């Protein structure tokens, strides 16, 4: 029996802008989120890897999330990152998100200690679910072994779904390995799987994926949404080829600084380019190169006029 | 000019006991810390890797640290782990430690994002020092690439020492690579370097190291202290061989669960064996094997009588 998906479509791990003082800039953040929804995003996943989420303090994350809800963004569309190395902190962030009405949370496994056992990871999630203690909780597992190093093996995913069928409802697969995504889709029908890159969007949808959650949605959500809306139409492969080519052009640069440089350029707002350590901003010449490369080869530009 | 070292000798990354409810057990923790000092530890480094420090919430760490100081442990002997992925959280923990009078802090680099640039790591520490804004702050860099993946290259260490000579005062080297420790000792005389294993204690002292900070100090501090006290004596190599053999016997088992199993056994307190996810306790048969192996081959036992 296919469950009604809670999230589907095009979900953005929202970039986090910073102010002059280094703190998160709530005003730019809320503005960007509204613009992303206007561009066609079906959901927002703040505090993911692209969001520099793990460079944000616990209080900073909670305050930013409250800003979004206070500013009228439907919490059902929000899937904030709440996984941390420490159970107590993960429970606190997750409970806070559930209390705000968030439609789901995207949880990293505890990622400091390497090569944990399946049993150890299972216990982390079992204890987190018990700690939150709220039937509204919907967890999306965040599988990103290239960064977190610790991931979710296929058997663990199955064990968690079986133990918590109403809570463990989906997964973002940022392994970059389509065969892994395909294996999860095949093993667990009805589980809401999102490839971590739009490169796999069409293949994913054809195999039962729910959509994609991708860094580059921060600057190309409309084109990605177009593939999502027309994936069964005659132009689907051609549309997919377009977003794949753009994605590959962008990821040739350091992803987070490059995305921020693009927004800074088209918003005429140099402050948008600011990143937190351990990242560094692109040097001006490299930022120019990102803008020019994408404009020349992909006719890429961002239009913020309608958001004004 | 050789600076007066702030820490030297035998420093324990203190194990964190947990209670029935899964929370840190302050009573067992304080008791263990007093016992370690009685055994000859010259300092304590709570919330390190061995402490399951990254499995502790921010509030849990601060509360445990306050318990130690409230219970009469000299804060000058404390070097708590305060490095986290997020600058804001690292600043909060570090400021709290400095305000309590801690002699130093042991700081991991931000470890979520992999392969950060030297400049990015430099900025993290520069901004952390500025954020704490307290001349009493003494930072020991925590280099543990096998776990954190992100470490401190030699050039970065030099750059940090040069920029913050009064603040960046030492390093724990848990690379397990003696040639790295030797290179740091050679490059930066007067920098307080602690190998992360007593296996390198004698070699370290002969090359100018300040002592060691080692997981196994939780159960063998007295023997390690004996090497430290007699490293220039005629029996130094023989004493070193003894602690090396014991260390190698212990690290043949999963380190954290094995150390806790040993303490649980000799304290007749099964609850001591509890670990937090993603770790799991040793099965009973394996716990027995640790105890028997060490007792048979190394005449190892723990004496808690004098602590009673």
Position A268 scores a pLDDT of 97
Position A308 scores a pLDDT of 47
Closest residue in B to A47 (Cα–Cα): B86
By Cβ distance, the residue of B92, B147, B150 closest to A113 is B147
DSSP β-ladder status, A168-173 and A192-195: parallel
Closest residue in B to A55 (Cα–Cα): B86
Cis-peptide into A278, omega within 30 deg: yes
Cross-chain Cβ contact A123/B58 below 8 Å: no
Q: Is the pLDDT of residue A72 over 90?
A: yes
Radius of gyration of chain B (CA): 18
Distance between CA atoms of B116 and B170, rounded to whole angstroms? 21
Q: Is the pLDDT of residue A245 over 90?
A: yes
| DSSP type of residue A199 | G
Provide the token pair at A26.
């709530």
pLDDT band at A44 (very low <50, low <70, confident <90, very high): very high
Catalytic residue (choose from A95, A172, A260, A274): A172
Distance between CA atoms of B165 and B158, rounded to whole angstroms? 10
Beta bridge partners of B9: B211
Q: What string of DSSP letters covers chain B?
A: -PPPPSS-EEEE-----B-TTSSB-HHHHHHHHHHHHHTT-SEE-TTSTTTTGGGS-HHHHHHHHHHHHHTT--GGGB--B---SSHHHHHHHHHHHHHTT-S-EEEPPP-SSSS--HHHHHHHHHHHHHHH--TT--EEEEE-HHHHS----HHHHHHHHHH-TTTEEEEEE-SS-HHHHHHHHHHSTTSEEEESSGGGHHHHHHTT--EEE-TTHHHHHHHHHHHHHTTTSTTHHHHHHHHHHHHHHHTTS-HHHHHHHHHHHHHT-GGGG---TT--PPPHHHHHHHHHHHHHHH------GGG-
CA B263 to chain centre: 18
Distance between CA atoms of B48 and B214, rounded to whole angstroms? 10
Q: What is the edge-to-edge ordering of all strands in the sheet holding B211-213? A: B43-44, B9-12, B211-213
Provide the token pair at B152.
């401190």
Position A6 scores a pLDDT of 83
Q: Which residues contact A83 (CB under 8 A, 6 or more apart)?
A: A90, A105, A106, A107, A108, A109, A110, A142
Q: Which residues contact B129 (CB under 8 A, 6 or more apart)?
A: B137, B139, B164, B167
- Indicate the Cα dihedral angle B46, B51, B57, B61, nearest 10°: -20
For residue A43, give the 3-state DSSP assignment: strand
**Residue numbers in chain B where pLDDT is lower than 50:** 1-2, 308
Position A1 scores a pLDDT of 39
Position B6 scores a pLDDT of 83
Distance between CA atoms of A143 and A8, rounded to whole angstroms? 18
Under 8 Å between Cβ of B211 and B10: yes
Taking every pair of Cα atoms in chain B, the longest distance, rounded to a whole number of angstroms, is 54
Q: Which of B8, B174, B158 is nearest to B83 (CA)?
A: B174
Distance between CA atoms of B167 and B137, rounded to whole angstroms? 6
Calculate mean pLDDT across residues A23-33. 98
Provide the token pair at A2.
């296919």
ipTM > 0.85 (yes/no): yes
Sign of CA dihedral B124, A247, A61, A128: negative
Q: Is the pLDDT of residue A2 over 50?
A: no
pTM tops 0.90:
yes
Q: What is the mean pLDDT of chain B?
A: 96
Distance between CA atoms of B158 and B183, rounded to whole angstroms? 12
Position B147 scores a pLDDT of 98
Q: Which of B303, B195, B186, B208 is nearest to B244 (CA)?
A: B195
A140 is catalytic: no
The CA distance from A307 to the nearest CA of chain B, in Å, is: 31
By Cβ distance, the residue of B88, B109, B150 closest to A60 is B88
The CA distance from B49 to the nearest CA of chain A, in Å, is: 8
Q: Which of A123, A131, A127, A121 is nearest to A153 (CA)?
A: A121
Read off the pLDDT of residues B221-249 as tens digits, 9 standing for 90 and up: 999 999 999 999 999 999 999 999 999 99
Cross-chain Cβ contact B120/A278 below 8 Å: yes
Under 8 Å between Cβ of A179 and A213: no
Distance between CA atoms of A58 and A94, rounded to whole angstroms? 11
- Mutate one of A85, A93, A278, A280 to test the B interface: name it (highest B CB count within 10 A): A278
Read off the pLDDT of residues B38-51 as tens digits, 9 standing for 90 and up: 999 999 999 999 99
Position B2 scores a pLDDT of 46
Position A81 scores a pLDDT of 98
What end-to-end distance do the CA atoms of chain A give, in Å?
A: 45
Q: Is the pLDDT of residue A283 over 50?
A: yes
By Cβ distance, the residue of A56, A112, A279 closest to B54 is A112
Read off the pLDDT of residues A224-242 as tens digits, 9 standing for 90 and up: 999 999 999 999 999 999 9
Under 8 Å between Cβ of B45 and B102: no
Q: How many contacts (CB atoms, under 8 Å) link A and B?
A: 122
Cross-chain Cβ contact A279/B54 below 8 Å: no
Distance between CA atoms of A287 and B167, rounded to whole angstroms? 35
């Amino acid at each position: 029996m296919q469950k009604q998906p809670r999230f589907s479509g095009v979900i953005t791990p929202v970039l986090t802008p910073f102010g002059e003082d280094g703190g998160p800039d709530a005003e730019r953040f809320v503005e960007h989120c509204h613009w992303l929804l206007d561009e066609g995003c079906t959901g927002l996943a703040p505090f993911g890897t692209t969001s520099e989420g793990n460079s944000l303090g616990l209080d900073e994350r909670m305050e930013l999330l409250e800003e979004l809800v206070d500013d009228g963004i439907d919490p059902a569309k929000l899937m904030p990152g709440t996984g941390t190395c420490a159970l107590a902190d993960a429970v606190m962030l997750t409970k806070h998100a559930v209390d705000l009405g968030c439609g789901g949370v995207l949880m990293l496994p505890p990622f400091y200690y390497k090569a944990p056992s399946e049993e150890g990871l299972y216990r982390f999630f079992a204890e987190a679910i018990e700690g939150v203690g709220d039937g509204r909780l919907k967890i999306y597992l965040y599988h990103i072994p290239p960064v977190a190093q610790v991931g979710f093996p296929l058997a663990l995913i199955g064990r968690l779904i079986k133990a918590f069928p109403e809570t463990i409802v989906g997964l973002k697969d940022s392994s970059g390995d389509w065969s892994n995504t395909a294996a999860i889709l095949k093993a667990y029908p009805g589980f809401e799987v999102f490839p971590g890159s739009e490169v796999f969007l069409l293949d994913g949808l054809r195999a039962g994926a729910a959509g994609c959650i991708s860094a580059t949605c921060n600057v190309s959500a409309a084109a990605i949404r177009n593939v999502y809306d027309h994936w069964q139409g005659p132009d689907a492969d051609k549309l997919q080829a377009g977003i794949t080519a753009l994605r590959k052009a962008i990821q040739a640069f350091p992803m987070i600084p490059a995305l921020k440089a693009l927004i800074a350029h088209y918003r005429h707002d140099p402050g948008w380019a600011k990143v937190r350590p351990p990242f560094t901003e692109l040097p001006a010449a490299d930022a120019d190169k990102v803008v020019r490369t994408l404009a020349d080869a992909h006719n890429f530009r961002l239009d913020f006029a309608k958001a004004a």
